[in-house]
Chains A and B, each alone.
Chain A
Amino acid sequence: MNETTSLERGYRRVLACYPKAFRKESGEEILAVLLDTAAEGQRRVGLSECAALIRGGLRMRLRPAARPPRTVRGAARLMCAGAVAELAAVITMLVTAASVKAALAKDPSLTAAQWHTVTSLLTFKEVSGAIAVGLWLFLAWAISQRRDVARLAFTGFFALITLSMLIVLAQHGAVYAPADVIAGATVWVITLATMVLLFTRQSNAFYRRAGHPAAAHPAR
């Protein structure tokens, strides 16, 4: 009995190199096969067995566990484009910020408080833009990995972008250069297109299957 449990513990440790979602779905099943194929009285994980598990786990982590449907692949590609557009927006902002500040500095009626508002707003936009670039890329990876949570996160991201877009247009439109607004609008359009792709029927089926393995043969 003790021999079995020490071997089982060993296998469980090696199985940790598989993605969590996969382990949840198939971990127990693989463990059963591993224990079935183990030699009588075997106490330690075999070297080649261990190597095959590590290779399998790495392969599964590096490439998407399942080839996503065309809609999800398209969404991931759009999200990479979004990262590029966002980067362009950040660069535009960095370039134009200097001229905006220079123009404002010449204005004698500007109070210190107003100056502070303008500069802190610009800094906020620059930092949030840089974070957004990283977020785009991370979410593009995550949606390809069949993470339904990533879809939810992207929906939140979409709401945030829409909101910030509206705020920019309604209140501080004058602070930003037209190029910045155009770049922002481009990002928003890409986000909208990604949202549409992410919630098509094909995409929904892809994520449904990920959450509930039993749905592979649904009661239709």
Chain B
Amino acid sequence: MQEATFLILTALADGSQHGYGIITEVGQISDGRVRLRAGTLYTALDRLRSDELIGMDREEIVDGRLRRYYRLTPEGGRRLAAEAARLHANATAALTRLRPAGGLVT
């Protein structure tokens, strides 16, 4: 799973969000490191929707403009949990192995 995909799913993990909301959330989650572009976001959303990892929640018209809210599907939740566990295991392994080498990590 690509990092952008992982972050988008994470942004949706605790509730539905619209496009702009996802961009803001992803910025916060990554400490401002990842700034999603609209083009990147919608290519990813389209793929995630067709893979049925996310679904459309509802539509709103705000200031005459269409706003769609997306939510995680049960399958999307499972995939995100599995990916998070995998990354966590990798990170733990890396930190464990680094420790005896030079005591870089405390």
**Chain B interface: which of A59-67, A96-104, A186-194, A196-204?**
A59-67
Contact indicator A30/B56 (Cβ below 8 Å): no
Which residues of B, 35-64, contact A by the 8 Å Cβ criterion?
A: 37-43, 46-47, 49-51, 55-56, 62
Answer yes or no: A32 CB below 8 A from chain B CBs. yes
Q: Which residues of A contact B19 (CB under 8 A)?
A: 29-30, 32-33
Answer yes or no: A3 CB below 8 A from chain B CBs. no
Q: Which residues of A contact B41 (CB under 8 A)?
A: 33
Contact indicator A57/B39 (Cβ below 8 Å): yes
Which residues of B, 52-96, contact A by the 8 Å Cβ criterion?
A: 55-56, 62, 65-68
Chain A binding surface, main DSSP class: helix
Contact indicator B39/A54 (Cβ below 8 Å): yes
Q: How far is the CA of A59 from the CA of B42 in the complex (A)?
A: 11
Contact indicator A213/B66 (Cβ below 8 Å): no
Q: Which residues of A contact B65 (CB under 8 A)?
A: 28, 31-32, 35
Shortest A118–chain B CB gap in Å is 51
Answer yes or no: A168 CB below 8 A from chain B CBs. no
**Chain B interface: which of A45-53, A83-91, A128-136?**
A45-53
Contact indicator A56/B40 (Cβ below 8 Å): yes
Contact indicator A33/B46 (Cβ below 8 Å): no
Q: Which residues of B contact A26 (CB under 8 A)?
A: 42, 46, 68
Q: Which residues of B contact A34 (CB under 8 A)?
A: 38
Known: A37-B20, A52-B40, A213-B56. A29 touches B68 (CB 8 A): yes
Q: Which residues of B contact A59 (CB under 8 A)?
A: 43
Q: How far is the CA of A53 from the CA of B37 in the complex (A)?
A: 8
Q: Which residues of B contact A31 (CB under 8 A)?
A: 65
Choice from B23, B47, B62 contacting A37 with Cβ under 8 Å: B23
Q: How far is the CA of A53 from the CA of B43 in the complex (A)?
A: 9
Q: How far is the CA of A32 from the CA of B65 in the complex (A)?
A: 6
Contact indicator A30/B38 (Cβ below 8 Å): yes
Answer yes or no: A107 CB below 8 A from chain B CBs. no
Contact indicator A32/B67 (Cβ below 8 Å): yes
Query: Which of B20, B39, B42, B56 counts the most chain A CB atoms within 10 A?
Result: B39
The interface of chain B, by Cβ under 8 A from chain A, is 19-20, 23, 37-43, 46-47, 49-51, 55-56, 62, 65-68
* Complex A-B, nearest 10 residue pairs according to Cβ-Cβ distance, in ascending order: A66-B50, A52-B37, A52-B39, A56-B39, A53-B39, A32-B65, A56-B43, A33-B19, A36-B20, A28-B66
User: Other CB < 8 Å A-B pairs besides A29-B68, A56-B42, A213-B56, 18 of them?
Assistant: A29-B67, A30-B19, A30-B38, A30-B39, A31-B65, A32-B66, A32-B67, A37-B20, A49-B38, A49-B39, A52-B37, A59-B43, A65-B50, A66-B46, A67-B50, A216-B55, A216-B56, A217-B56
